[in-house]
């Protein structure tokens, strides 16, 4: 037998070494790239999410002006500014003003917490009063002392955040500009970028397409099924509080909208205490109206709107959504509201694909649900 087959062995070993060196270089340069863009990671993330959600609007503009994708992207960007950015800025300004007035009212003593506490405690059943008193919660001075211990740490954290926000106005403006700049190009070139990313992933193409499809489904489900529902619930809550004459209705509405992201609990953590306070202070019809609105309107919005907006179940259990949302908020702030469930969904999808490969075979996704155009920024 000829020994010619031995000749390519050194070349194969050299090629493997070169490939290993290149992969090491690729990993290091990728880590370096992530470190460089880390200060703008959240603006880029929100730009990508915005490009995904507004891709249909971009396609609508592009279909009416074929060959003018830049104009379509600019028109979509203008719509985003008018429909999302400007209203958010106006609402945020109003919320800050209401929060400032509320803090000032506490400092000037115009809000008597001791009187509120006595009214609420007196409205409780006798057995509950006895139980709370035995635990040391029946004396306002004791409750106030415990609350102050909690507030000392909270105020310190809030103060640090306030200083950080005040000292980084330029940073916020820069991040905002970067986000708008990136979203323009993702709208215009998103499909091409998405297809290139899918081809570059070290997966089978069918698996990459499946993951991209799941990624898009989770993003749309989270934003359409959570953000939109949260906005509607916040608006209904603010309207209800305005009708019954409660102060700081915009602030309460925003808190309810944010609380709507928490499964099982949701806006009830805002309207239930408000209703109890109104009932305890003698505002009976106001308290009843808040309860009716909370149950019949605010509580049903999630069940009615979410299926219509989402269209299908993403397969993420409510308890996992709750845990990942809270964990995402702890790590990334408000961006974690989206990132947390997104990571959970991709985690479940990856393990589901692995299970299918083991039970069905390595080509379980040989016929993907989405084509090459369904990239991360695709429509």
- 15 assigned to some structural domain: no
Cβ contact 43:175 at 8 Å: yes
Q: Which range, 34-48, 70-84, 143-157, 249-263, is most confident?
A: 70-84
> b/e for 201-215, b at 16 or more Cβ within 10 A?
eeebebbbbbbbbbb
Q: How many CB atoms lie within 10 A of CB 314?
A: 20
SS3 287: helix
Q: Which residue has the higher pLDDT, 313 or 355?
A: 355
- 4 assigned to some structural domain: no
Range of the domain at 236: 35-359
For the chain, the first-to-last Cα distance in angstroms comes to 59
Using the predicted structure, report yes or no on whether residue 240 has a pLDDT greater than 70: yes
Using the predicted structure, report yes or no on whether residue 2 has a pLDDT greater than 70: no
Q: What is the pLDDT of residues 274-327, one digit of tens each?
A: 887 788 777 788 888 988 888 888 878 877 776 666 555 556 777 777 788 778
Confidence of residue 251 (pLDDT cuts 50, 70, 90): confident
- Helices of type H across the chain: 8-37, 41-53, 55-64, 69-80, 86-107, 113-123, 126-134, 140-167, 169-200, 205-222, 228-243, 249-259, 268-280, 284-292, 299-310, 318-332, 336-359
Residue 271: closest CA among 251, 252, 248: 252
Confidence of residue 330 (pLDDT cuts 50, 70, 90): confident
Using the predicted structure, report yes or no on whether residue 142 has a pLDDT greater than 50: yes
Confidence of residue 329 (pLDDT cuts 50, 70, 90): confident
Using the predicted structure, report yes or no on whether residue 370 has a pLDDT greater than 60: no
Classify residue 27 as left (phi > 0), alpha (psi -120 to 50) or beta: alpha
Confidence of residue 226 (pLDDT cuts 50, 70, 90): confident
- 368 assigned to some structural domain: no
Distance from the Cα of residue 209 to its chain's centroid: 24
What was the pLDDT predicted at 128?
Answer: 67
Distance from the Cα of residue 191 to its chain's centroid: 24
Average pLDDT, integer, range 180-206: 83
What was the pLDDT predicted at 75?
Answer: 92
- 9 assigned to some structural domain: no
What was the pLDDT predicted at 367?
Answer: 44
Q: What is the pLDDT of residues 88-98, one digit of tens each?
A: 888 878 877 77
What was the pLDDT predicted at 258?
Answer: 81
Q: How far apart are CA 337 and CA 323, in angstroms?
A: 11
Question: How many domains does the chain contain in total?
Answer: 1
Q: Write out the two tokens for 187.
A: 């709208």
- 8 assigned to some structural domain: no
Residues 6+ apart with CB under 8 A from 140: 113, 114, 117, 118
What was the pLDDT predicted at 159?
Answer: 47
- 289 assigned to some structural domain: yes
Q: How many CB atoms lie within 10 A of CB 56?
A: 10
- 326 assigned to some structural domain: yes
Q: Which residue has the higher pLDDT, 143 or 307?
A: 307
- 6 assigned to some structural domain: no
Q: How far apart are CA 254 and CA 250, in angstroms?
A: 6
Average pLDDT, integer, range 15-32: 82
């Amino acid at each position: 037998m000829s020994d010619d087959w031995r000749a390519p062995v050194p070349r194969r070993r050299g090629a493997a070494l070169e490939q290993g060196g290149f992969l090491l270089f690729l990993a290091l340069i990728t880590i370096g790239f992530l470190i460089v863009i880390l200060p703008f990671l959240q603006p880029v993330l929100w730009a990508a999410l915005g490009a995904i959600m507004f891709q249909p609007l971009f396609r609508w503009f592009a279909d009416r002006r074929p060959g003018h994708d830049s104009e379509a992207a600019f028109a979509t960007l203008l719509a985003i500014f008018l429909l999302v950015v400007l209203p958010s800025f106006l609402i945020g300004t109003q919320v800050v003003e209401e929060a400032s007035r509320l803090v000032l009212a506490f400092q000037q003593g115009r809000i008597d917490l001791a009187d509120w506490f006595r009214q609420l405690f007196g409205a409780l059943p006798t057995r509950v009063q006895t139980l709370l008193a035995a635990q040391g919660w029946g004396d306002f001075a004791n409750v106030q002392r415990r609350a102050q211990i909690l507030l000392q740490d909270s105020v310190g954290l809030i103060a640090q955040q306030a200083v950080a926000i005040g000292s980084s106005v330029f940073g916020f403006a820069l991040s905002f500009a970067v986000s708008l700049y990136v979203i323009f190009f993702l709208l215009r070139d998103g499909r091409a970028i998405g297809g290139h990313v899918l081809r570059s992933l070290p997966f089978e193409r069918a698996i990459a397409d499946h993951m991209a499809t799941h990624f898009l489904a989770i993003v749309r489900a989270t934003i359409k099924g959570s953000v939109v529902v949260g906005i509607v619930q916040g608006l209904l809550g603010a309207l209800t509080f305005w009708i019954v004459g409660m102060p700081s209705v915009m602030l309460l509405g925003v808190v309810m909208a944010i609380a709507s992201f928490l499964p099982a609990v949701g806006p009830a953590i805002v309207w239930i205490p408000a209703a109890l306070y109104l009932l305890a202070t003698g505002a009976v019809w106001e308290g009843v109206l808040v309860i009716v609105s909370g149950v019949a309107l605010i509580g049903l919005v999630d069940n009615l709107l979410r299926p219509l907006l989402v269209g299908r179940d993403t397969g993420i259990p409510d308890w996992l959504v709750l845990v990942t949302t809270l964990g995402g908020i702890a790590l990334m702030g408000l961006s974690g509201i989206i990132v947390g469930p997104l990571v959970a969904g991709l985690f479940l999808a990856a393990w589901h694909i692995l299970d299918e490969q083991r039970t069905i075979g390595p080509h379980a996704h040989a016929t993907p649900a989405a084509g090459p155009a369904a990239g991360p920024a695709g429509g």
